[in-house]
């Protein structure tokens, strides 16, 4: 039994993690990019008991292969889902490459308000010359990706603190909305841009959104949850021990036996259309019981997992009826509590405002 229950996250991008997942979807192709589709999958994930839903994204246009992926922006999907949910947390994937940190900070702070403190941010980088060309920006690669990620997260965190918690006084009698002495300039100067501030959105309900990032992309002091990818449990444990962040989640690709077919056969059928590239992530191909055993083993070395299902319409029902209930019954994992912020659910404190902390009483 792990010392702390495992936190369960699931990626809800498109029709699933496989590039050809749309071929097995249980809806017409023109229904993918609809509000009804987004609402349905996020409600299924919330009712199942997942702690967190992530929404993948990319600034790249759809490819030219046989299975091009279309998607609505991740922040927009998360913002749409926020008022439709009350328990599950929502974390869009937002790239730090070619993005304007001031706008990203505003979008994510607004999302945290919409979700009543249930928002997170999955940090990513974009190593694609075609994206740079489409945006008319110099191509960023190599060490530049890490530099951009570091600076963007630094700026976002500073902007979230640029309003003190009680900066908005809303005093009708005097007509004063803001205490301007509690707004602060961040005065950030990086290698490629500078940001003055303050933000245009008040400090988020969580103070700071929960920042999730792949291992090695962002300095650990800027990250709340490291996402580790290793094809073995032992390697995952070693990566978790390397991570100097408060929490560590393992990434697991999931292909399950379903009433519609054996896991191996289903994967082979989709791979025949568009091969699913192997990554450094753990990949489970098999039964629900086998996945329960794997997650039970992972619970001894990590704080949570992010599952990437092969096909949402087929894997989510099995996860909901067989995998998560078994983990809850065994005490390996726990459901989030309604009314809790994502920070509270993960056992992370609400950070003090850096500017308020610097003030010295007269």
Measured CA angle at 120 (ends 207, 27), to 5 deg: 150
Predicted confidence at residue 260, as pLDDT, reads 87
Query: Can you read off the two tokens belonging to residue 319?
Result: 């996860």
Predicted confidence at residue 130, as pLDDT, reads 86
Among the residues of the chain, which ranges form H helices? 35-48, 74-81, 101-114, 129-135, 143-161, 233-242, 263-273, 288-298, 312-318, 324-330, 342-346, 354-358
8, 96, 100: which is closest to 45 by C-alpha?
8
Predicted confidence at residue 186, as pLDDT, reads 96
For residues 189 and 102, give the distance between their C-alpha atoms in angstroms, rounded to a whole number: 13
List of residues 6+ apart from 184 with CB closer than 8 A: 161, 162, 163, 164, 197, 198, 355
For residues 52 and 209, give the distance between their C-alpha atoms in angstroms, rounded to a whole number: 13
Predicted confidence at residue 256, as pLDDT, reads 98
Going residue by residue through the chain (362 aa), what tens digit of pLDDT does each one get?
A: 566 799 999 999 999 999 999 999 999 988 988 999 999 999 999 999 999 999 999 877 776 666 767 788 999 999 999 999 999 999 999 999 999 999 999 999 999 999 999 999 999 999 989 889 888 889 999 999 999 999 999 999 999 999 999 998 888 888 888 999 999 999 999 988 999 989 999 999 999 999 999 999 999 999 999 999 999 999 999 999 999 999 999 999 999 999 989 999 999 999 999 999 999 999 999 999 999 999 999 999 999 999 999 999 999 999 999 999 999 999 999 999 999 999 999 999 999 999 986 654 43
Tokens 């951009």 belong to which residue?
148
Give Cα 125 distance to the centre of its chain. Answer: 13
């Amino acid at each position: 039994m792990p010392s702390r229950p495992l936190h369960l996250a699931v990626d809800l991008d498109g029709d699933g993690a496989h590039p050809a997942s749309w071929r097995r979807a249980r809806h017409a192709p023109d229904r993918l990019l609809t509000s009804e589709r987004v609402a349905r999958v996020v409600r299924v994930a919330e009712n199942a008991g997942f702690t967190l839903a992530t929404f993948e994204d990319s600034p790249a246009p759809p490819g030219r292969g046989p299975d091009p992926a279309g998607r609505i922006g991740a922040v927009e999907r998360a913002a749409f889902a926020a008022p439709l949910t009350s328990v599950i947390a929502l974390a869009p994937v937002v790239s730090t490459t070619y993005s304007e940190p001031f706008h990203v900070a505003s979008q994510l702070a607004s999302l945290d308000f919409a979700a009543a403190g249930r928002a997170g941010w999955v940090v990513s980088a974009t190593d694609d010359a075609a994206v740079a060309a489409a945006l008319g920006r110099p191509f960023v690669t190599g060490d530049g990706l890490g530099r951009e990620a570091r600076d963007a997260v630094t700026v976002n965190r500073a902007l979230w603190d640029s309003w003190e918690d009680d900066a908005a006084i809303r005093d009708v009698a005097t007509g004063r909305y803001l205490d301007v002495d509690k707004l602060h300039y961040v005065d950030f100067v990086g290698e490629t841009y500078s940001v003055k501030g303050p933000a245009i959105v008040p400090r988020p309900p969580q103070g700071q959104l929960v920042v999730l990032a792949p291992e090695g992309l962002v300095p650990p002091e800027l990250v709340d949850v490291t996402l580790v990818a290793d094809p073995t449990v032992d390697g995952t444990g070693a990566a978790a021990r390397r991570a100097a962040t408060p929490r560590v989640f393992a990434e697991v690709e999931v292909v399950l036996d379903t009433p519609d077919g054996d896991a191996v056969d289903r994967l082979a059928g989709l791979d025949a259309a568009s091969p699913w590239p192997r990554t450094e992530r753990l990949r489970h191909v098999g039964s629900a019981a086998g996945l329960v055993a794997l997650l039970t083993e992972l619970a001894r070395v990590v704080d949570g997992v992010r599952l990437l299902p092969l096909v949402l319409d087929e894997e989510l029902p099995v996860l909901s009826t067989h995998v998560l209930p078994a983990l809850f019954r065994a005490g390996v994992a726990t459901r989030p509590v309604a009314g809790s912020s994502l920070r509270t659910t993960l056992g992370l404190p609400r950070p003090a405002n850096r500017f308020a902390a610097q003030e010295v009483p007269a």
